[in-house]
Structure 1
Amino acid sequence: MLSTLARAATRRPLTVMLLWGVFLLLGFGLGTGVFGKLSDDVPDVPGTESAVAAEYLDDLDPSGESITAVVEAAAVSGPEVRAQVLRAVADLRDLAGVAAVPDPYATRGLVAEDGRALIVPVALEGGLDDAAEEAAVDAAAGRLHEIDASGVHVSGGPLLGEQLGERAQEDVKNAELISLPVVLVLLLVVFGGLRAAGLPLLVAVAGIAGAFLALFAFSQFTDISVYAIQVTTMLGLGLAVDYALLMLVRFREERRETPDVVEAVHRTVAAAGRTVLFSGLTVAVSLAGLLVFPSTFLRSMGLAVAAVVVVDMLAALTLLPALLARFGGKIAPAKVRAKGEEGRLFARLAGFAARRRAAVLAVAVPALLVLALPVTGMRVNIGDAQQLPKSTEARRLHDAVGAHFPPGTGVSPVTVVLRPGTDAGTADRIRALAPGGGSRDLPGGTTVLELPPAGSVDGRAATELVERVRDIRGDAPVQVTGTAAQLVDFRQMLADRAPWAALTVLAGILVLLFAFTGSVLLPLRTVATTLLSLGAALGAVVWVFQDGHLAGLIGAEGLGALSLTAPPLIIAIAFGLAMDYELFILARMREAREQSGDDREAVVTGLRRSGRVVTCAALLLAVVFGAFMTGGFSPILQIGLGLTLAVLIDATVVRMLLVPATMALLGRRAWWAPRPLRRAHERFGVREEVAAPAEPEPAHH
């Protein structure tokens, strides 16, 4: 298959480039339409009690969305501000699509006790189509912003998703403006020439277009989280550069052996292309674990990110060979280095780790385990507007409410649905859990209780209230929904499905690594060392964002819990990225072993040849992830920091020290497999063509 792709790309390079040009136009044209379809509703899990109860209420009593405004002034009850607010309320009531707007001065709790702020909630009619709802929201928000006061902040409902989508688009653009020039400079340092440095960026642009197009496609039949844009774009950009870097380094090496450009491209795809193919497959398999969870968010993220990985892989295997066939003759071959000169530092590291394997393991493994300790106390919450950048209007509204109103204001209640047949005693016991809650009767004998939780919507008091209601109800036809109930159900879903997700990923990874290496022990060793780096990175994220240590250094704050989106995505993506570097190194180790037959020397030689590529790839990925951390969304900061640390720890401590130490410890046994499996691998496994023995140092011109 790879040879067929290589021949097609080199035989018709202009056709291949034209097809990719059309893809780019679709990605940056049609694909960017996803920014208008983003949702901030993450925790819903179809089939759970909270989701079923919410659907039941929507069918029985369909209600519309709502938006909220906070008006700040020196005296909101002063005659001038009061007159403006009341005129705005009257105008809002006359707008098409608006169901109700209470008088804030006549409604208890809407005017702050300090007299410096008031809340104006606007309820929309139920059953509005998208166009009518958008028109009503825009008109209501516009009218509220016309109030002349020291501060008017409007958000919530569909307006929140629109605001977050605009901010996400701005953050992606800024991240690209920051990362692409820095990546280009680093590539210039690596390759020493503009042509070679520019080609990975072309592949990276294809990755970004693929991210947009994949998300737009999935948005047609499922909700796409606002955070999906940053995650898929950063991964699409980073992996594209990684794959292109590996291919280009190998191409320059092959050019050193053959003057024929097309032949060098074929040899590159035959060797490094197989590593790219398996790397893409391992990342995709790691993300397949997200499909085990019934969460719409996690499934859509898994599919979208996997699609982006496939696009990056195809771009590296088709677009890059076409570009090399057309322009590769002007890229200088790698310099011939004296024996022992190339990769000297990495060879010394590998030799040291192999000789002092017991000491390296005794120091590195406990150190990584200590870094991972905070994971044992990890908590996940839905979070509120505090997770958003302070410049967003939703965050300003949240801060204004917190500054002027008592704690708990605006917190979504725990909604209890008492279906027909619920006895009065059960209903009374549930009401007693949160005195002061509201109650309303719906058609058909259904009663809805709204219990106000103490503290935040996803705090311990709120989730314990949900659990106590579920304990009290017994066999009564009572269901609990609302934000706190969604969180309880999401946490339970993670706990129930996480083992199955882990088994799915591990089984797929072990099979792929066996197909790549022909060994039974190497896949097990790879998984064990990868889990160490992953645990250390996740522990650091908990220490910073949950516990608040050093959070201010990256513009964040301690929130007492991680966003429920962060841990699953960090684990799935970081695991896949770690497999990338493992495959880069194992490919070179196996190649050296086949050439020399010396297991110890193969470890040193393999790291000598691959260490520079792995280090450069990790540095480039860290730059990309770091650029996306400038946006300020706390979940993106958490994911960005987690992936950055996972990549850096894995590419340094794990791959440069633990890998050679464990390989030396295993010796010849590292490549062992039972005879039946060995025969199966000889027949069906993947074998790279052995090319020139040295990884080139970049030429400087």
Structure 2
Amino acid sequence: MLLALARAATRRPLTVMLLWGLFLLLGFGLGTGVFARLSDNVAEIPGTESQSAAEYLDRADPVGDSITGVVAGTPVRDPALRAEVEQAVTDLRRIAGVAAVPDPYTTRGLTAEDGRALLVSVTLAGGLDDAAEERTLHAAADRIKEIDAPQVRVSGGPLLGEQLGERAQEDVRNAELISLPVVLALLLVVFGGLRSALLPLLVAVSGIAGAFLALFAFSEVTDISVYAIQVTTMLGLGLAVDYALLMLVRFREERRTTEDVAEAVHRTVAAAGRTVLFSGLTVAVSLTGLLVFPSVFLRSMGLAVAAVVVVDMLAALTLLPALLARFGGRIAPAKARPKGTEGRLFGRIAAFAARRRIAVLAVVVPALLVLALPVTGMRIGVGDARQLPANTEARQLYDTVGDHFPPGTGVSPVSVVVEPGTDAATAERIRALSPTAVTRELPGGARVIEMRPSGEADGAAATDLVKRVREVRGDAPVDVTGTAARLVDFRAMLADRAPWAVVTVLGGILLLLFAFTGSVLLPLRTIATTLLSLAAALGVVVWVFQDGHLAGLLGAEGLGALSLTAPPLIVAIAFGLAMDYELFILARMREARQETGDEREAVVTGLRRSGRVVTCAALLLAVVFGAFMTGGFSPILQIGLGLTLAVLIDATVVRMLLVPASMALLGRRAWWAPAPLRRAHARFGLREEGHTAGAPVPEKV
């Protein structure tokens, strides 16, 4: 299969490049339309109590979205400003599609006690179509901003999603402008030539186009989070560079032994291409764990990122061979070095780790476990505007309200839907749980009790209130919704489905690694060492963003909890990336073992041959992730830091020390499998063929 792809690419390189060119036009044309469809709501889970209750409220008492403006920085009871605000309220009420605008001077809680800020709340009519809603939102926001005051900020509702979408598009553009030149400079250092350095960037551009196109396709059927665009784009860019780097390093090695460019491409695809194929499949399988969760956001992220990985893999296996067939003759072969001198540093490290295997394991494993300790206290939350960059309008509105109004102002209430027929005593017991409880009658005889908890909408007080309501109601037809209820349901969903996600991912990874290595113990060893590096990286993320240590260095602050989307995404993506590097190294180890038959020497030789490319790939990925962390969105900072640390820890400490130490400890047993499985692998497994630079190319893959 792979050799057939390589031959097709070398026979018709211009056709392949044309097809990929059309794909790029589609991705950067149609695909970028996703920026207008991004949502800031990721906590919804179909079928949960909180979601069902919210849908019931929408049907029973349809109310449109709302936006909020804050006017501050000057005494708001100044006669001139008051006249201007009252005129603005009058004008807002006349806008088609506006349902209600309370007077901030006569409505309790809308004017700050210090007299230097007020809130203008605009509620839209229910049932507006998208076009009418957009016109109304912008007309209302523009009218509020016409108020002449030192500080006027407007956000909330669909306007927040629009503002975040615009910011996300700007952040992606800036990250690309930062990362691409740095990646190019590093590739120039690695390859020493502009042609070789440019080819991975061409493949990377394909990955970015694939990210846009995949998200746009999923936006047709589901909501796409504002944070999804950065995650998929940075992975599309990073993995494309990784795969292209691996292929180009191998191509330059093959060019040392053959003048025939097409032959060198075939050999490259037959050897490194197989590693790329397995790597892409492994990363995609790691992301299938997200499909186990009923969360629309997690499922769409899993599918979108997996689609991007597949695009990167296909670009490395088709577009890059076509480019090499067309321009590879101008790429200088890798410099011939005396036997045993290539990758000498990595060989020495591997030999040391293998020789001192017990000492290395005794030091490295406890050190990683110490870094992982904060995970035991990890908490997740929906978060608030503090997750946003300080220069976003929504964050500025949040900070201004916090400076002038009491804590809890604007906090989403815990809403309890009491259906007809509920015992009056049950309703009273629920009302007694909160001194702020307010009851509203709904059409059809139902009632809704709204209770505003102290602290944040997803804080401990709010979530405890949700749990107490659900305990008090018993079997009564009473449902709870709101931000806190969504968080409680999200946490329950994670706890319920996480074991199934783990079984799904580990089962798939074990099968793929067995197909790649023919060993039973190697996959188990790989998973154990990978989980160590992953836990260490996640522990640091908790220590920084939840507990607040050194968060200021990243332009963030301790929030008391991680974004509810960060841990599952870090775990799924980082696990796949770790498998990526493991396959790079195992491919070379297996190759060396087939050459020499010496397991200990194969470990050292495999790391000597792969250490440089793995280190370079990890550094390039870290650069890409770091560039996307400049945007300032806290969930992206959390995911970016987690992935960066996971990649760097895995590519250095784990792969250079733990892998050779554990492989040396296992010895010949590392490659063991029961006789029936050995026979199955010999018949069905996709194996590395013991092909080295200059050896004949296998006829079948």
- For normalisation by structure 1, the TM-score amounts to 0.99
Equivalent position of 2:269 in the other structure: 269
1:445 Cα deviation after fit: 1.1
In 2, distance between residues paired with 1:49 and 1:579? Answer: 38
Equivalent position of 1:56 in the other structure: 56
In 2, distance between residues paired with 1:615 and 1:54? Answer: 49
Kept in 2: contact 1:566–1:638 (CA 8 A) = yes
In 2, distance between residues paired with 1:543 and 1:163? Answer: 30
Equivalent position of 2:578 in the other structure: 578
Equivalent position of 2:400 in the other structure: 400
Equivalent position of 1:671 in the other structure: 671
1:343 Cα deviation after fit: 0.4
In 1, distance between residues paired with 2:503 and 2:443? Answer: 47
In 2, distance between residues paired with 1:256 and 1:556? Answer: 49
Equivalent position of 2:243 in the other structure: 243
In 2, distance between residues paired with 1:526 and 1:73? Answer: 58
What letter is aligned with 1:180? L
Q: Are 2:477 and 1:477 aligned? A: yes
Deviations along 1:423-460, one digit per CA (max 9) or x if unpaired, are 11111111111113221111211000001101110000
Once the two structures are overlaid, the 10-residue window that deviates more, 430-439 or 299-308, is: 430-439
In 2, distance between residues paired with 1:193 and 1:85? Answer: 64
1:690 Cα deviation after fit: 3.1
1:56 Cα deviation after fit: 1.0
SS of aligned partner of 1:257 = coil
In 2, distance between residues paired with 1:678 and 1:215? Answer: 41
Equivalent position of 1:690 in the other structure: 690
SS of aligned partner of 1:16 = helix
In 2, distance between residues paired with 1:308 and 1:74? Answer: 50
Q: Are 2:645 and 1:645 aligned? A: yes
Kept in 2: contact 1:416–1:479 (CA 8 A) = yes
What letter is aligned with 2:527? V
Equivalent position of 1:636 in the other structure: 636
Deviations along 1:524-552, one digit per CA (max 9) or x if unpaired, are 00000000000000000000000000111
Deviations along 1:45-88, one digit per CA (max 9) or x if unpaired, are 10000001111111111110000000013211111111111111
Equivalent position of 2:158 in the other structure: 158
SS of aligned partner of 1:630 = helix
In 2, distance between residues paired with 1:694 and 1:350? Answer: 26
Q: Which runs of 5+ in 2 are unaligned?
A: 696-701
Superposed counterparts of 1:86-485, under 5 Å: 86-485=86-485
What letter is aligned with 1:68? T
What letter is aligned with 2:264? A
Deviations along 1:64-120, one digit per CA (max 9) or x if unpaired, are 000000001321111111111111111110001110000000100100000000001
In 2, distance between residues paired with 1:481 and 1:74? Answer: 38
Kept in 2: contact 1:592–1:693 (CA 8 A) = no
1:158 Cα deviation after fit: 0.3
Equivalent position of 2:556 in the other structure: 556
In 1, distance between residues paired with 2:351 and 2:546? Answer: 39
Decide whether aligned partners of structure 1 residues 513 and 575 sit closer, same or farther in structure 2, where only a CA change above 3 A counts: same
SS of aligned partner of 2:630 = coil
1:599 Cα deviation after fit: 0.6
1:686 Cα deviation after fit: 1.1
In 1, distance between residues paired with 2:635 and 2:455? Answer: 21
In 2, distance between residues paired with 1:688 and 1:267? Answer: 12
In 1, distance between residues paired with 2:138 and 2:459? Answer: 32
Equivalent position of 1:537 in the other structure: 537
In 1, distance between residues paired with 2:29 and 2:472? Answer: 54
In 2, distance between residues paired with 1:353 and 1:374? Answer: 28
Deviations along 1:543-567, one digit per CA (max 9) or x if unpaired, are 0000000111111110011000100
In 2, distance between residues paired with 1:263 and 1:181? Answer: 32
Deviations along 1:458-513, one digit per CA (max 9) or x if unpaired, are 00000000000000000110000001000000000000000000000000000000
SS of aligned partner of 2:255 = helix
What letter is aligned with 2:447? T
SS of aligned partner of 1:123 = strand
Kept in 2: contact 1:609–1:694 (CA 8 A) = no
Deviations along 1:249-306, one digit per CA (max 9) or x if unpaired, are 0000011111100000001000000000000000000000000000000000000000
Kept in 1: contact 2:257–2:694 (CA 8 A) = no
In 1, distance between residues paired with 2:83 and 2:444? Answer: 43
Kept in 2: contact 1:588–1:607 (CA 8 A) = yes
Equivalent position of 1:592 in the other structure: 592
In 2, distance between residues paired with 1:414 and 1:223? Answer: 24
- For normalisation by structure 2, the TM-score amounts to 0.99
Deviations along 1:352-373, one digit per CA (max 9) or x if unpaired, are 0000000000000000000000
Deviations along 1:339-392, one digit per CA (max 9) or x if unpaired, are 221100000001000000000000000000000000000000000001000000
What letter is aligned with 2:461? A
In 2, distance between residues paired with 1:85 and 1:180? Answer: 48
SS of aligned partner of 1:479 = strand
Equivalent position of 2:67 in the other structure: 67
In 1, distance between residues paired with 2:632 and 2:438? Answer: 37
In 2, distance between residues paired with 1:438 and 1:397? Answer: 26
In 1, distance between residues paired with 2:266 and 2:41? Answer: 47
In 1, distance between residues paired with 2:8 and 2:484? Answer: 55
In 1, distance between residues paired with 2:8 and 2:60? Answer: 59
1:693 Cα deviation after fit: 5.8
What letter is aligned with 1:431? R
Kept in 1: contact 2:31–2:213 (CA 8 A) = yes
In 2, distance between residues paired with 1:126 and 1:54? Answer: 15
Equivalent position of 2:699 in the other structure: none
Q: Which runs of 5+ in 1 are unaligned?
A: 696-701
In 1, distance between residues paired with 2:154 and 2:74? Answer: 19
1:3 Cα deviation after fit: 1.1
Deviations along 1:570-601, one digit per CA (max 9) or x if unpaired, are 00000000000000000000000000001110
SS of aligned partner of 2:121 = strand
What letter is aligned with 1:41? N
In 2, distance between residues paired with 1:167 and 1:360? Answer: 46
1:692 Cα deviation after fit: 3.0
What letter is aligned with 2:456? S
SS of aligned partner of 1:113 = coil
In 2, distance between residues paired with 1:509 and 1:416? Answer: 44
In 1, distance between residues paired with 2:534 and 2:466? Answer: 33
In 1, distance between residues paired with 2:635 and 2:694? Answer: 42
Equivalent position of 1:489 in the other structure: 489
Equivalent position of 1:24 in the other structure: 24
Deviations along 1:137-187, one digit per CA (max 9) or x if unpaired, are 010001111111010000000000000000000000000000000000000
The number of residues matched between the two structures is 695
Decide whether aligned partners of structure 1 residues 482 and 453 sit closer, same or farther in structure 2, where only a CA change above 3 A counts: same
SS of aligned partner of 1:495 = helix
Deviations along 1:179-206, one digit per CA (max 9) or x if unpaired, are 0000000000000000000000000000
What letter is aligned with 2:446? T
Kept in 2: contact 1:257–1:692 (CA 8 A) = no
Equivalent position of 1:503 in the other structure: 503
Equivalent position of 2:14 in the other structure: 14
In 2, distance between residues paired with 1:335 and 1:24? Answer: 34
Equivalent position of 2:698 in the other structure: none
In 2, distance between residues paired with 1:535 and 1:210? Answer: 30
Once the two structures are overlaid, the 10-residue window that deviates more, 438-447 or 401-410, is: 438-447
1:661 Cα deviation after fit: 0.4
In 2, distance between residues paired with 1:591 and 1:681? Answer: 17
What letter is aligned with 2:623? V
SS of aligned partner of 1:450 = strand
Q: Are 2:513 and 1:513 aligned? A: yes
Kept in 1: contact 2:85–2:147 (CA 8 A) = yes
